[in-house]
Amino acid sequence: MKTLDQIADELQGYDPQAMSADDVLAFLSKLVTPVQDVLELPLFEALGRVLAEDVISPFDVPPHDNSAMDGYAFDGQQLSADAPLELQVMGTALAGKAWQGSVNAGQCVKIMTGAIMPQGLDTVVPQEFVKLSQVGETSRITIPPGLLRTGDNRRRRGEDLMQGKPALQKSEPLTPARLGLAASLGLKTLKTWRPLRVAYFSTGDEILSLGEAPREGAVYDSNRYTVFGMLSRMGCQMIDMGVVRDDPAMLEAAFTHAATQADAIITSGGVSVGEADFTKAMMKKLGDVAFWRIAMRPGRPMAVGRILPIKSASSPDGKGASSYKQHSNPDGAVLFGLPGNPVAVMVTFLAFVRPALLQMMGASTAPAPQLKARSMEAIRKKPGRTEYQRGWVSTAPDGSLQVKTTGSQGSGVLRSMAEANGLMVLHHTQGNVAIGDEVDVMMFDSVI
């Protein structure tokens, strides 16, 4: 575990008062470390978990050459470019058992999709392409010329997965397709990194929990719900700690509880400049925390660091028993102190917290690809900060992608976030956007 000072020394020109989005990502990637505990999980419980080891294919998939169609299997050498091919049907190969018997020139076997290719046969003609004729007990098919090539409609042994080769790789999150692939190898369990435990709470005396009566100057807590949603989509185990008042004792209890229980703590509110509350003071007291100003919009203030677990609070009997539960994480918990404004919370989460949590989950952190879409409007943008605009991406009549903003971009306006399907990312050095300019878009579907 590195201290913030050690990380700062490793980074050139680190200035907590003037962080670019890239500086933030570089800093966070040095701050966090992947979890180490491995859980072996049954497949039905492994969705969304991250693989802790490569999965090597124990056999070839498919294990035999087999037919990709319902049709007739034959030796493709007999095909000719200009003459029809007539074959006698010798029997039927069903899926699930090998067809016994030999097939000579001029003969074929009726075959079902997935059935093992009979010995010596390499080509399948789909049944709808043949003319079938019956004389007494004997069935014959006629294949028109020019329709097939040798090897058509045959799936090769091992074409899906080769024995001894990695079928799935360490650090890959288990998607539905990857679960299916593991099952096709006969694997009942997979070794995954344990899920990340993330505690979160909202701060601020003006923040109401749902169910509380409205009062003047107060707003309902929306941040806990957006944070909950984004953490759920990432497969984190969540510890919801509610709204914590601007009260030193309550804040201290919340932070120390979170630091003993969780790998990461996400708070919202109380980190802006001139904030007259106790949140920042408590973060400083209980941990190693930096307070940043980030050149971005929305966002800007953010606290980052680590809340350290209480070592050994001395007990009245002098035996040193802690009044806190045994902490699961001796290094404490990584702190993401997000701003209070609801859209700033979501944007800083997507831009910074999400990549850091993925790294902690042992997942590959390659950024999700961004789309390019043509802006349907002019947007004023100052170089020197990264701006995230809530947008709606749609398909233009010519088939290309276009994007327009979803209205007021105020950092507290959750409506324009709720109406958006992506965030336009206007990069640090970028200036004004003209109508028709291409902009990068982070689509919500790929992340939340």
Question: Which chain residues interact with ligand AMP by CB under 6 A?
Answer: 202, 204, 206-207, 219, 221-223, 268-270, 272, 275, 339-342, 412
Nearer to ligand AMP, 224 or 327 (CB): 224
Under 8 Å between Cβ of 110 and 72: yes
Report in angstroms how near the CB of residue 224 gets to ligand AMP at its nearest: 6
Nearer to ligand AMP, 254 or 441 (CB): 254
Report in angstroms how near the CB of residue 291 gets to Mg ion at its nearest: 14
Least Cα distance to 441 among 400, 399, 389 occurs for: 389
Nearer to ligand AMP, 235 or 270 (CB): 270
Cα(72)–Cα(77) distance, integer angstroms: 15
For 171, left (φ over 0), alpha (ψ -120 to 50), or beta? Answer: left
Q: Which helix (H) or strand (E) holds 72?
A: strand 71-74
Cα(406)–Cα(148) distance, integer angstroms: 53
SS3 377: coil
127 binds, among Mg ion, ligand AMP, none (CB under 5 to 8 A by kind): none
Rg (CA), the chain: 31
Under 8 Å between Cβ of 382 and 311: no
Nearer to ligand AMP, 65 or 277 (CB): 277
158 binds, among Mg ion, ligand AMP, none (CB under 5 to 8 A by kind): none
Q: What residues contact 172, with CB distance under 8 A and at least 6 apart?
A: 50, 51, 178, 363, 364
Report in angstroms how near the CB of residue 254 gets to ligand AMP at its nearest: 14
Report in angstroms how near the CB of residue 340 gets to Mg ion at its nearest: 5
Q: Which residue is nearest to ligand AMP (CB)?
A: 340
Report in angstroms how near the CB of residue 69 gets to ligand AMP at its nearest: 58
309 binds, among ligand AMP, Mg ion, none (CB under 5 to 8 A by kind): none
Report in angstroms how near the CB of residue 203 gets to ligand AMP at its nearest: 7
38 binds, among ligand AMP, Mg ion, none (CB under 5 to 8 A by kind): none
**Given the rule CB under 5 A, which residues bind Mg ion?**
204, 269-270, 340
Nearer to ligand AMP, 8 or 208 (CB): 208
Report in angstroms how near the CB of residue 414 gets to ligand AMP at its nearest: 8
Nearer to Mg ion, 305 or 340 (CB): 340
- Long-range contacts, 87-92 (Cβ 8 Å, 24+): 87/140, 87/141, 87/143, 88/138, 88/139, 88/140, 89/138, 89/139, 89/140, 89/141
Under 8 Å between Cβ of 339 and 226: no
126 binds, among ligand AMP, Mg ion, none (CB under 5 to 8 A by kind): none
Q: Which residue is nearest to Mg ion (CB)?
A: 204
Q: What end-to-end distance do the CA atoms of the chain give, in Å? A: 30
Cβ atoms within 10 Å of 154's Cβ, excluding its own? 21
207 binds, among Mg ion, ligand AMP, none (CB under 5 to 8 A by kind): ligand AMP
Nearer to ligand AMP, 75 or 221 (CB): 221
Nearer to ligand AMP, 171 or 222 (CB): 222
118 binds, among Mg ion, ligand AMP, none (CB under 5 to 8 A by kind): none
Report in angstroms how near the CB of residue 201 gets to ligand AMP at its nearest: 9
Under 8 Å between Cβ of 235 and 351: no
Cβ atoms within 10 Å of 5's Cβ, excluding its own? 10
Under 8 Å between Cβ of 335 and 304: yes
